[in-house]
Every structure is written in C-alpha cells, then in structure tokens.
Chains A and B, each alone.
Chain A
Amino acid sequence: MIERLAQIDRRWIFLAMGLSIAIPVLLQMQFPEIPGSQSQAVFDAIEQLKPGDRVLMAWDYEPSTEGELGPMATAFARQCCEKGVRMYFVTLIPVGEKMIDKTIDNVLRADFPNLVEGVDYVNLGFKAGYEGVIKVIVTDLRKLYTTDANGTNIDLIPMCRDVQNIQQMKLIVNVSGSYPGSKEWVQYAATPYKINMVAGCTGVQSPLMYPYIPHQCQGLLGAIKGASEYETLVAEKYLSENPDPKYMEARRRMGPQLVAHLLMILLIVAGNVVYFAQRRSGGVAG
C-alpha cells in the first residue's frame, strides 16, 4: 500500500486537485464568513471617507491574477461608490487598463448610472515606468498624465483641474498582483508623503506586506479569503439579502478553496506517512 502510494502517478494528484475545485464550483458551495481584523481595517478606512473626498484607485493587476483580485476590486469600487468619493483610476501595468474598464463597466456604469465620468470618476490609465511613475505623480501629476485614458485633456476634466499631485488624495486603494504593486505604493507614496493607503494583494504577496501594517498601510486584504471577508462587510452594509452575483464572487470562491486546501493537507499528511514508512523500512535516508 505504502509502496503504491509512494509510486503514485502525479496525474492522479492533478485529477484530485481538478475535482476538488470543479465539484464545489458545480455544487455552488458557500460558507458564512467572519470578517477578520485586517478586512475590518480596510472597510473602516474607506468608511471614514466623506463624500467628495479624492481616492486614488491603483489597479495593478492583470488577467492572470484576476481570479484572486477581481472580486476585491469590485467590492472596493462598490464601497467607494456608496461613499460618494471621487475616484481616480490609474495602473502601472499595461493590461491593468482592461481591469479598470471592467470595474467601471461592471460597477460604476451598471449600478451607479448617476455617476458622471470626469466628475465622479476618471480613468487616467496606464503609464510605463513602474515605480518611476509613482515618484513623479506624487509630486506632479501633470508631468506624466496630460490626458486621461480616452485622450481628454486633464485640464478639461473637472475633477482633475485642482489636482496637482497624488498627495491630495485622502486614500490610496491599491489592488496588486505582482511588481509593481502595493509595496511600491507604500515605499514611494504612502510612507514618504504620509498618504493613507489600503491594499488588496495575492496570497503570495501578502506576507511581504505585513511589515508595513498598520502605520504605512492601514489595512490589507490577503488573497481570496481577505476579499471574501471584505465582501461580507460591504454586502452587510450596502447590499440586499440577495445581492448581484458579482458582489458574491469571493464568497463563491471560498468553496473550491476550502476543498483544495483540505486536499493539500491530505497530500502533505500522505506524503509524510510514505516518508516515515520508507524511512522505517530503510528505504529513505533521514
């Protein structure tokens, strides 16, 4: 038995992983979520904003991490819309513009048709230069952004007329999937210029962000779990009992995550059982 387990073809493991994700998705498994302290901190940071406050929405992710970060971006946008803040979307990643468009189409235009582009929100789009872009716009926005993503002169956009740099933002909301992302926004904008910031990032990135919490980054949503907790908070305050499915994406994804994580634990245990059994029989060097 142990021998067979030790020699198991990895394709069986792939199949088990595939099923552990597919079955909960097909069964639409969902679990109640209890928000943690970080999700609460993120929620509170946005809740404290007043209508008309300026918020920089830095969407630094791409399709590869959209599954993990898309739901939190949607929930961020929803809460910001509910608060009536002015949203300035930017991205440091070329395909980030598509992510911004998706958020604007799915949340702002679909559920808040009263919001006016250029007055309530603006998509400033992508600029090449990684953290170099942050370093410039933190002191002079117009040096890099002379137009928005549609090519409209920034001086003709009502909500941009009085903005000299991003130090005038009340909050930076960053969704980050890789480099450049949350870390760069903390290092080049939030910390040196004391701008409040909350972030949402992938599970791989989140351990790297913890050293900045809570002084340099007020709150952090780590991976789909953080998104799910935050989504619960937003839904409880602003959405009806049966919200639109787009506002339940993170919670829907917790079902596959639970089963996949249990499988991982099972595989680690099985691997160690094999390891110790083989060591006892002298098959593996300790």
Chain B
Amino acid sequence: MKRLIPLLITAIGGFVLIVAFFIPAWQASGETVAVWFDILASIAFILGGGNLLKVHLQHISDRRAGWGYSVVTLLAFLLTLWFGCCKTNAPPAPNTEYYGESFASLPLEALPEFSVAGTLPVRGDDKPLPASVRRQVRAEDGSLYFRGWMNPDQITELMSYQDSLEWQASVEELANTAQPPPELEGKVFYRADHGALAFRGMMREADRSALERLFAEHPAGTAAVAQLWEASRRETSVEIATAPPGLAIPDSQSEVVSLDGSRLSIRGPMSESLRRQLSIDWTHPERMRPFTADQTTALLKELTDSGLPMSPALEVAVNEELGKLWRPEALVLAINSAGIPAPEEKSASELFTEMRAGERNLQRLKPAGPAVQLNAAQIARIEAFAFDPAITVESLEEGLRQDGDWTGAQAAALGRFLSQQPTLAEFRRSLTQTLLRQARIEGVLLPRESIERLLADSRAQADWQRNVDVLFRAAHVVKFPWSGAYDAAGTPFGWIYEFIFQPLTATMFALLAFYVASAAFRAFRAKNAEAILLLGTAFIILLVQTPLGVWLTAWVPDSLSALRADELKRYIMSLFNTAGNRAIMIGIALGVVATSLKILLGIDRSYLGSGDD
C-alpha cells in the first residue's frame, strides 16, 4: 500500500498529462493535474524540512565530524522559518488596511437590500458570479437584489460578468440604487470581504444621526455606529519641534487636525490624501519656476558667497540643474492638452436604450465639445508668471480667466502641473547632490557649512514630513496585522535576505572564478587531439567574450572575415555547439521517454526508495 499509492498517483498524473498534451479536449484535466502537482510539491517542502531537521539533529547528537555546521544550518533554517511564518515586524499590507477608515464588525444581514428589475445572465461556461459580490447579489421573481452598498470594484467585476448591454444596464441601475444616503456618500462603506462597516475620517454629529436612522431597526447596526463614533473621534497627538512657517490648516479641517504650540493632533484616522496635504500642500511651499539670467547670476553669487569654490565645471553643473526646471512652453502645452475635451463614454443604460429604439450602429462615445486653446494674451501671461516670482498662482488663474476662454479642466491642469514641480527645498537638495557629485569628479572638497546651509530647507521639510508620518502611524489602528509581506524592507526576514542570503549566494557563485582559474592551470592540458580542439575552442571563446577579441582581429580584410574572432565564435556556437547539443538533447529526450514509460507503467520503482523503511 505504501508503494502502491505513490505508484498510482504517478501513473495517473503522468498519463493524464500525456493525453492532455495530445488531445485538446483533455487540456483542462492536464491543468488540474498540474495544479495538484504544485500542491504535492508544497507538501514535499514540508517533508524536506522535516528530513533536514532529522538529519542534522542526528549529526549533532552523534557529534559527527562537522556537527558545528549542522548547528549553523539548523539555526539558519529555524530562524528563517520563524521570521517568515510569523511575519515578525512586518508592516500590514496597505491594500487591506484601508488607511483613513475606522472599522466596526457588522453582519451583511443588517444592511439594506436594494433591487431593480432584471435577471442573472446565463453563461455557457457556468462561471459563477465574481467572488466579491457573490454573497450580496441574488435574483428572484424577475428582480435583481443587492445587499449593502456597491463599490466601484464590485461594479466593474459585475459588469464584466457578461458583456451584453442588457446585463450591464441592469448592473448600472442596481449600482446607482445600491448606495448610501446622499449625506453619507463618500464617508460610509461596507467592506463585505471583512464583514465590516467602515467610516472614512472623523464622524460628526450629523453623520452619526444619519447612520443611526439607517440602522434604527438593527441593534447590531446601532452598536456598530457607536463603535465607529468612538474610533473615528479618537484623538492622537505628537510633539513637534517646529512647524513649517507657511503651515495653514484649512477651516474645513480645523476640527480634525490642530496644532497647539508644539502639539500636533488629529481626531480619528488619517487617510493617505490627508497625510499628503498635511505634509506638503498645507505648508504652501514655494514651487520652483524657471530662472532668468539675472536669477542665475544671483544664485551663483549666493553659492560663491556661501564659501563654495565655484569652478567652471561646478557652474556648468548648476546650469544643468537649472536647465531641468520647467519651461513656459511645457505649461502652455499641458493647459492646451487639457483644453481638448476627452470624448465622454455613454453609459450602458444609454446604449441599451438606443439599441431598443432600433439603433444598429451604436456609438460608445458621445461627441466631444470644441477644444479650448490658450490665446496670445494668455500665453504672454503664463510667460510673465514663469519668470516673475511676484505673480501668484491665484492672480495668474484670475488673469487667464479674464483674457479668454478658460475651462475647469485647464484650471485643474494648471494646478496639477505646478504641484508636480520641485519645491525650493527639493531643488536645493538636488542642486547640492549635483554639486557634490561634480566636486567628487574634480577631487574638490566642498565646505561642510556651505552644504549644510544649502540643505537646511530640505532638512526642515523632511523633519516636518517625519512628524506627519509618525502621527499617521499613531492615528491608525492596524486592522490585519498579518496581512503584510514577510520580506518587506526592515523586517528581520528582509534583513536576513539583504545582508546574509544575498551576499553569501553571490560570494559562493563568485568563488567559481577562483577555482576555474586554478583548474585551468592544472588540468587544461593539450594531452591529445580532442584536448587540443577543446583548448583551441576555449581560447577563441575566452577572447571573443571580451572586447579584445574583436579588436585583435579587426584588421582581417573583409574577404577573410570568416577568420574574425566574432565570426569564429558564431560558427562555433551555432554549428558545432548546436549540433552537439541537439544530439545530446535528442538522446536525453529518448531516454526520458523510455524512463518515463517505465516509471508510469510501474516497471521502474527505484524512485519510491528501497522500501526497507
């Protein structure tokens, strides 16, 4: 029995794979067997681990020669296993943590159910509904039901379940219906996979009342709302040294984020967008604009005055860094591109209505409106803005609106373009790095005080961002501690990989060079004709694998180009090597066929072991 079962598994698996390869109808069975192979292979890993423990513990117990190495092997194995399996110190996965949201457990049944007229489509392949909506969707008496609120991912998955317009129109209608009340839109969600009611940001009294009305008939829902109220209003604070001079918290967020002296506080969890706003946007940093010749001269003078030995090469480096700043043409292009309206896609319901009305040539896109391009006055205003720091972004936008046509998309493009430009602190840090790099090439040492002065703004910005990051982490309640990657940077497993595994494996491979060199001296001898052939081939390949080979034979005239080193290598590899390898491969393939058949038919059972144990 002990040998019969493995034998049967091998034979059945092998024959199914062979049949699946030749008969397309059996292809799915082949895939299933291959998946089972993977599962069995995983079990083999466990057995392998057990065997490793057994062998090395025996070694240590018997104090055999080299038992110390067994101790090292076992320790390495157990430590890696522990850190890998326990995910020690691994940060939770961002895509499961829902930063900025508070969770409270709530059964799906407590949520309202929505319905529209429709039926589930019939699929030829019997594929079930997507897993993300399976528990929430049902069809009954010509109606489609959805329990809870449908999120964009669920809409996408449900729409792609079948590509008929009728189905997609029903899903669209159901998605529009299955949404939280308007006053809670964008604030409350139901995370069906986690069975949790989620609230984004800090809950206010009005939100609480709306939620309590929603779950008035469900005690579990009311309890969840109370829980969310507590969680979403929890106050978290950090002590900071100094706040950025330009920091201004918008009035709409003053209840959520506050700065009281050296105490930065937040109520509820911090979302990633709020973190970005608090780190950068609310500090209103100065964004870089292109430099005029005068500004460049002033910068060079400032650098010289700060004690930097500004050589011509360093000046070139500064100019190169300034050359990376945006140009007015780029901003004009970005705004003009945004002025070309993208054609809007029709909804499935619109298309379905058109189809039912008899339209045969359905057009998925609505006709786009006319393009709005900047006029000469607007372009001149942008050029003036680029080189005049006195013109603010607000006055620029106001002027552009007055000078001609101006759309919301263009205003958004302007804001996006400018927000992507480096801040003054970032520019100075980049400039410092360039100067240091150039100074290293020239062998010049730059004074530390000058460098520190250049980096001061950048350090202050980094300190503030670090404070915000600390607050972000402190305000977040980890929802799924085991969800992160075991090998994330900074985890013990990551350290083992980075500083032990990686250098050791690279070293082991590199040692080959030393042993091959020694072997080449001692064993590579021209003892007979075959060895001479091998030696000659090795010479050519060794030479051609370097630029020297090509260089040494570059003088050979074109009429004798076959004697050039690279051509010789090509002949050797594509003729002699390929011929030899093919012969070996065919031989191996025949051997594999014969051996496989013997194994599948149970004639060769050597792989099952001796059977003694």
Contacts and interface: CB of A to CB of B under 8 A. Distances in A.
A262 B497 CA distance: 35
B31 A140 contact: yes
Interface string A225-240: 1000000000000000
Given A64-B505, A262-B548, A265-B542, 5 more contacts: A31-B546, A31-B547, A128-B38, A263-B517, A271-B521
A45 interface: no
A48 to B, nearest CB: 22
A152 B131 CA distance: 13
B573 interface: yes
Interface string A161-182: 1000000000000000000000
A286 interface: yes
A267 B520 contact: yes
B501 A136 contact: no
Contacts of B156: 156
A208 B502 CA distance: 27
B34 A136 contact: yes
Given A17-B513, A136-B31, A150-B95, A258 B547 contact: yes
Contacts of A271: 520-525
Interface stretch (B134-142, B199-207, B574-582, B604-612): B574-582
Contacts of A64: 505-506, 508-509
Nearest to B507: A64
Q: Enumerate the 5 nearest inter-chain pairs by beta-carbon distance, A residue then B residue, closest first.
A: A31-B547, A129-B38, A64-B505, A258-B546, A64-B509
Interface in B150-199: 153, 156-157, 160
Interface stretch (A32-40, A49-57, A75-83): A32-40
Contact of A210 (B538, B543, B566, B581): B581
B483 interface: yes
B95 A151 contact: yes
Contacts, number: 163
B510 A67 contact: yes
Q: Which interface residue of B45, B156, B522 has the most chain A CB atoms within 10 A?
A: B522
The A interface is mostly helix, strand or loop, or mixed, namely helix
Given A98-B497, A262-B548, A210 B578 contact: yes
14 contacts: A14-B518, A128-B45, A130-B41, A135-B31, A135-B34, A136-B34, A144-B38, A150-B95, A151-B96, A208-B581, A210-B578, A211-B581, A264-B542, A272-B524
B548 A258 contact: yes
B518 A272 contact: no
A132 B38 contact: yes
Nearest to A274: B521
The B interface is mostly helix, strand or loop, or mixed, namely helix
B95 A152 contact: yes
B199 to A, nearest CB: 23
A156 B159 CA distance: 12
Interface in B5-56: 27, 30-31, 34-35, 37-38, 41-42, 45
B368 interface: no
A18 B514 CA distance: 8
A264 B520 contact: yes
Interface string B578-596: 1001100100000000000
Contacts of A152: 95
Interface string A213-245: 100000000010100000000000000000000
Contacts of A195: none
Contact of A17 (B497, B517, B577): B517
A132 B514 contact: no
B153 A34 contact: no
A63 B501 contact: yes
A184 interface: no
A106 interface: no
Interface in A71-112: 95, 97-98
A261 B545 contact: yes
B77 to A, nearest CB: 15
Given A65-B509, A127-B38, A139-B31, A17 B514 contact: yes
Q: Which interface residue of B31, B42, B93, B505 has the most chain A CB atoms within 10 A?
A: B31
B34 A32 contact: no
B417 interface: no
